[in-house]
């Protein structure tokens, strides 16, 4: 699995003008299930993200996790994280998981974050979404499992 996470002041996803998920301070997590990914990969990523110390403590050092701060996560499926741009000008996405498996792993990953004690909001799998956020820092981190 691949994720791109951003520390945010707030984030929101809308589909056709309808808000499907929004959070205040926390993490915006774009997630892509890759071909061959397993539940174990989602387990590892969720546990790692819950403990990742990228929020400032009282001394201004990145020393706290989203769990420590009581922050939330907005999890959005994004198969384009599987983009292969090594040839030509049009990305290929053949390494992304098939849609049914991608949806299952996306939902499983969201559930695993909840099990880690994180409040989770979601986008809508497979939808054309409008995503807005205020990146704090900015802090943007790429993770793979």
Most distant CA pair in the chain, distance: 48
So which residues are the catalytic ones?
78-80
Strand ranges for 1-145 from DSSP E: 2-15, 18-23, 26-32, 55-56, 62-64, 72-77, 119-122, 130-144
Structure tokens at 11: 């984030």
CB 44 within 8 A of CB 145: yes
- For residue 107, give the H/E element and its range: helix 99-115
């Amino acid at each position: 699995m691949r994720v791109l996470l951003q520390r945010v002041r707030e984030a929101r996803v809308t589909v056709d003008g309808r808000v499907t998920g929004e959070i205040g301070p926390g993490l915006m997590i774009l997630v892509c299930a890759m071909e061959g990914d397993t539940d174990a990969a989602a387990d590892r990523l969720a546990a790692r993200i819950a403990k990742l110390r990228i929020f400032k403590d009282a001394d201004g050092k990145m020393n706290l996790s989203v769990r420590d701060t009581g922050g939330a996560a907005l999890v959005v499926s994004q198969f384009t994280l599987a983009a292969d741009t090594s040839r030509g000008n049009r990305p290929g996405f053949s390494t992304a998981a098939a849609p049914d498996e991608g949806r299952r792993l996306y939902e499983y990953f969201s559930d695993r974050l909840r099990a880690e004690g994180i409040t989770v909001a979601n986008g809508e799998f497979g939808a054309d979404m409008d995503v807005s956020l205020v990146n704090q820092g900015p802090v943007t981190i790429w993770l793979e499992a």
